[in-house]
């Protein structure tokens, strides 16, 4: 019978020992060995390395890339360069003088170029650095300013804000996606993590209509209209589909910001029926959430 080996570990073929009497004349081999002695300072060395790795991970996740670079350099000084520390060469670019002082659009462009050229990073490390970059951008400029400057990072920012444990205002991810769609910023459904967002963005509608549909699905509340704009007359019904979606969104805001029996609310509901009768009927049946 052939000996079975684990996949990837092929051993030599051996004769089937069945029927062969064991040789008991040899001295028994001791089955147990004493403990391997620990060299002086070995435990302390491992403890320091573990602490440094923890500090490195924490600094990267928090967007403190200057601290992360210092910890990486200390690890290199202690152990010499390793494959892992070499892969963190991205920290040199993220800590270049003036990197974070530039305008938000230039800063985002610089990071995207760094990420594009970073072809030797482990997926988990890349994700950690990406989160750190996103956190730092948001802390400096704010989420809406980042997305408005470079709409292509909308999914990245929304996914980051939607992560469990990320410190943020309630529903910040949903509110950001709502505002982006209402402003006409499109997004691919496959780039998002939240199943409700994926389902919404898979609809074949213009971004402005998706903002309205998301409100009707209670994915986000409808923000109020400033008091000074409540009595402004609605413009004529537009022909362009995106403009019609924008006007429907405006009507949702008017209808939820005014008393139901007010002229502004009545006019808004009437206009919604003209713009999209099906969505108007859905609004009349179930309403929307208010901010």
Which pLDDT does position 6 carry in this prediction?
31
| Spatial contact of 203 and 219, defined as CB atoms under 8 Å apart | no
Q: What is the pLDDT of residue 43?
A: 43
- Residue 157 CA to residue 170 CA, distance in Å, equals 15
pLDDT of residue 19: 53
pLDDT in 10s for each residue of the chain, 291 residues: 444 333 433 434 444 555 555 555 555 545 455 554 544 444 444 566 778 888 899 999 999 999 999 999 998 988 888 888 888 999 999 999 999 999 999 999 999 999 999 887 788 889 999 999 999 999 999 999 999 999 999 999 999 999 876 555 558 999 999 999 999 999 999 999 999 999 999 999 999 999 999 999 999 999 998 877 888 888 999 999 999 999 999 999 999 988 888 888 899 999 999 999 999 999 999 888 776
**DSSP letters along 247-282, please?**
HHHHHHHHHHHS-TTSHHHHHHHHHHHHH-HHHHHH
Domain boundaries, given as residue ranges, for the chain: 203-291
* Packing angle of the helix pair 263-275, 277-286 (nearest 10 deg): 130
Is the separation of the CB atoms in 210 and 185 below 8 Å? Answer: no
**pLDDT for res 150:** 96
- pTM for this prediction: 0.78
Closest CA to 12 of 3, 21, 22: 3
């Amino acid at each position: 019978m052939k000996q079975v080996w684990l996949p990837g570990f092929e051993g030599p073929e051996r004769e089937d020992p069945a029927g062969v009497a064991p040789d008991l004349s040899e001295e028994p081999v001791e089955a147990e060995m004493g403990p391997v002695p620990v060299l002086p300072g070995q435990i302390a060395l491992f403890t320091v390395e573990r602490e440094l790795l923890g500090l490195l991970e924490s600094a990267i996740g928090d967007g403190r890339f200057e601290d992360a670079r210092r910890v990486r350099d200390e690890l290199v000084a202690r152990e010499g360069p390793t494959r892992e520390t070499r892969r963190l060469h991205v920290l040199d670019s993220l800590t270049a003088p003036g990197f974070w002082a530039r305008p938000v659009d230039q800063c985002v462009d610089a990071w995207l170029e760094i990420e594009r050229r970073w072809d030797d990073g482990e997926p988990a490390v890349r994700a950690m650095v990406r989160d750190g970059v996103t956190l730092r951008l948001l802390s400096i400029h704010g989420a809406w300013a980042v997305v408005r400057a470079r709409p292509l990072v909308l999914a990245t920012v929304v996914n980051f804000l939607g992560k469990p444990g990320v410190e943020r205002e309630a529903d910040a991810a949903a509110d950001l996606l709502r505002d982006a769609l209402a402003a006409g910023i499109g997004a691919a459904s496959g780039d998002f993590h939240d199943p409700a967002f994926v389902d919404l963005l898979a609809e074949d509608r213009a971004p402005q209509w998706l903002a309205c549909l998301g409100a009707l699905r209670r994915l986000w509340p409808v923000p109020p209209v400033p008091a000074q704009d409540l009595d402004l007359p609605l413009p004529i019904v537009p022909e362009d589909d995106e403009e019609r979606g924008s006007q429907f969104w405006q009507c949702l805001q008017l209808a939820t910001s005014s008393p139901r029996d007010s002229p502004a609310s009545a006019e808004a509901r009437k206009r919604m029926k003209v713009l999209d009768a099906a969505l108007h009927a859905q609004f009349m049946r179930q309403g929307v959430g208010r901010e």
